[in-house]
Structure 1
Amino acid sequence: MLRLRSNFFTGQYPRQLCNLGYLHILDLSHNNFSGTIPTCFNNLTSLVHNVSDIYNDYYLPQTTVTLKGQERVYNTTLMLVKSIDLSSNILEGKIPQEIGGLTLLGTLNLSRNHLTGNIPSIVGNMHGLETLDLSNNRLSGQIPQTLESLTFLSHLNLANNNLVGRIPLGSQLQTFTDSSIYMGNPSLCGFPLPTKCPGDDTLTITNAKRCNEDGNDKMWFYVGMVLGFIVGFWGVCGTLLVKKSWRYAYFRFFYDTKDKVTLAIELKVTRLQRKLCHV
């Protein structure tokens, strides 16, 4: 763990930190680091492969770690925390594609910097990510659809950037109903923002028409069933009630059929009993 937050460090991010393969908590937030985010983050082995066994023989002191905007105290479970916090610096440039290889990373906080470019779609490969904070940067482009594959994501903040287009509505992103996490992106639209996307009104009207059409189809289906029942029932029973001769003929036919069936069954049983007796 390397925790150097809230100091006055300047200069570029030291690339040598990428050689610390067992580093699983990196907190350089609230400093004055400048330059770009290094592309060597995928050398942090503990954020790519599970190497927690190295802590079995070490004493882990009680430590305070900032996650999801809150300070939390860890001791024996500290080895399970995997976090990178570079927030509140002067970092610029694009978010490197290599960061998508940190599949075990739980928290990524790059907020309050001067980052530009698109949010890499490869972030969707970071399946262990629970917190993603990219707010207060200068990121542009659309929110990648791949974010919906982050099934453990519970804290998201993309506010105050230059993101555009419709907010994806994947299975996981539907759980974020707080519009403030998208605020400050004037060209962003869709739920949960109050800004509608182009074509939403047409889509709503089309859906309403489909619902009405479906409702009308169901109504006429049930009306047809009722009418069919009424016509069929009274076509047979009504005729029998009105025509006395037909009623007698119907019941005579019914009784004759019943007698024939009963006789046939009795003959079958008698023949079977005879065969059994001979055996």
Structure 2
Amino acid sequence: MTEGIGNLHSMKVLSIQYNHLTGSIPLPVFNISRIENIAFTGIIPQEIGNLVNLVALAMEKTQIISSVPISIFNISSLQMLLLSHNNLSGFLSREIGNSTKMQFLYLDENSFTGEIPKEISNLVEMEVLNLGFNSFSGSLDIRAENN
């Protein structure tokens, strides 16, 4: 994929997973602020946080081997994060609590460790939370309110 893809300033959806592409996504893609939905394979770069209108990131079963960049949890429009069935590792960042519009969070079947941050309770729009088949430890500190 060439750097020229960054010139597609009106693009809202980019779906290129399950291909035989080599290399990484050119960084100019992450400067297309209109992108609302993106799906690809490879490492999730820190620049993902530049996609300020991102609503959905779908990268399940794409053999990602890295950690989830903190910047992704600062995208206030993010509603759907589908990263299940990969090799993601590390801790789940406390910044996850910034994703207050999150409705669907699938992080199951990865290699996450550590405690589930209590800030996950800030995700008041959450409909589906799947953290199964990881190596999380400690207690689950989620406060539920009935409305």
Q: Establish whether TM, by shorter chain, passes 0.5.
A: yes
Given the superposition, is the C-alpha separation of residues 177 and 23 from structure 1 closer, same or farther in structure 2, using an over 3 Å criterion?
Answer: closer
Identify the match of residue 83 of structure 1 among 37, 55, 65: 37
Given the superposition, is the C-alpha separation of residues 122 and 31 from structure 1 closer, same or farther in structure 2, using an over 3 Å criterion?
Answer: same
Instruction: Specify the SS of the correspondent of 1:46.
Output: coil
Identify the match of residue 168 of structure 1 among 114, 117, 131: 117
- Normalization by structure 1: what TM-score? 0.45
Deviation, structure 1 residue 113: 1.3
Q: Is the 8 A contact 1:129 1:153 kept in 2?
A: yes
1:152 is aligned with what amino acid?
A: K
Q: Which has the larger radius of gyration?
A: 1
Deviations 1:73-114 (A, max 9, x none): xxxxxxxxx21122xxxx33x311111111111111122112
Instruction: Specify the SS of the correspondent of 1:26.
Output: strand
Identify the match of residue 113 of structure 1 among 23, 37, 62: 62
Deviation, structure 1 residue 119: 0.9
Structure 1: gaps of 5 or more residues: 1-12, 48-81, 193-279
Alignment of structure 1 residues 1-279 onto 2, 5 Å: 13-47=1-35, 82-86=36-40, 91-92=41-42, 94-170=43-119, 171-173=121-123, 181-185=130-134, 187-189=135-137, 190-191=139-140
Between Structure 1 and Structure 2, how many residues are aligned? 139
Deviation, structure 1 residue 176: 5.2
Quote the Cα distance in structure 2 between the aligned partners of 1:37 and 1:161.
22
- Normalization by structure 2: what TM-score? 0.80
Partner in structure 2 of residue 57 of structure 1:
none
Given the superposition, is the C-alpha separation of residues 142 and 114 from structure 1 closer, same or farther in structure 2, using an over 3 Å criterion?
Answer: same
1:103 is aligned with what amino acid?
A: V
Runs of 4 or more, structure 1, over 4 Å off, are: 173-179
Given the superposition, is the C-alpha separation of residues 29 and 153 from structure 1 closer, same or farther in structure 2, using an over 3 Å criterion?
Answer: same
1:46 is aligned with what amino acid?
A: R
Quote the Cα distance in structure 1 between the aligned partners of 2:72 and 2:33.
17
Deviations 1:245-274 (A, max 9, x none): xxxxxxxxxxxxxxxxxxxxxxxxxxxxxx
Quote the Cα distance in structure 1 between the aligned partners of 2:102 and 2:122.
7
Quote the Cα distance in structure 2 between the aligned partners of 1:177 and 1:24.
24
Deviation, structure 1 residue 126: 0.7
RMSD: 2.3
Structure 2: gaps of 5 or more residues: 142-147
Between 1 and 2, higher relative CO (CA 8 Å, sep ≥ 6) is seen in 2
